[in-house]
Amino acid sequence: MHPLQCHGRRKVRVSHLATAWTQDTLLEEQKRVNLALEQRDGIRRHFEFDWRHGAAVNPQYGTFVQTEIERLSITHPLIRTQYLLLPLSEAGSFFIPEQRALLRGEHPRQSIPTPEDQRPEDTYYVAGVDIAGPSEDPQARTISCAASTRAKTPPSCSSRR
């Protein structure tokens, strides 16, 4: 697609407005085409405006985004895609490698649950299914399980429902 597409005999400007979650989206593909054409003939075809443009005209918006960046971190997928307009390079993965490493833990892997009489009191198993996209590890696509110990409810919270 070209910024000036032919529809019948007329040339019509086309605007692509969306979030490029990954590098293989139509938006990112069109961005690459437009930037290549710009390099070739010098006619500007790609325009993008990240959060700083909005903050320049609306300081409250700038404060909001800065607060979100502090809360989530500059590497968070939502910050990178929604505010910085950067596609996720880890296509098929919602978390960056550092975040995935934090989720792994240092405990030994188990293929079967620990017998009930050998587990600490109030231990239960939880399971998670990866539905966010393809995984690098085919065995990790199915279900991940973990054991956890239930936290004791503080007395001040016990009457809340």
Task: List, for residues 14-52, the tens digit of each pLDDT value.
Answer: 787 888 888 888 888 999 999 999 999 999 999 999 999
Measured distance CA(133)–CA(127) in Å, rounded:
17
What is the CA 133 to chain-centroid distance, rounded?
11
In sequence order, the β-bridge partners of residue 148 are 124
pTM, entire model = 0.52
H or E element: which one contains 99?
A: helix 97-104
CA distance 65 to 56: 12
Question: For the segment 56-81, what is each residue's pLDDT rounded down to a tens digit?
Answer: 999 999 999 999 999 999 988 889 99
Q: What is the dihedral of CA 127, 131, 132, 135, to 10 degrees?
A: 80
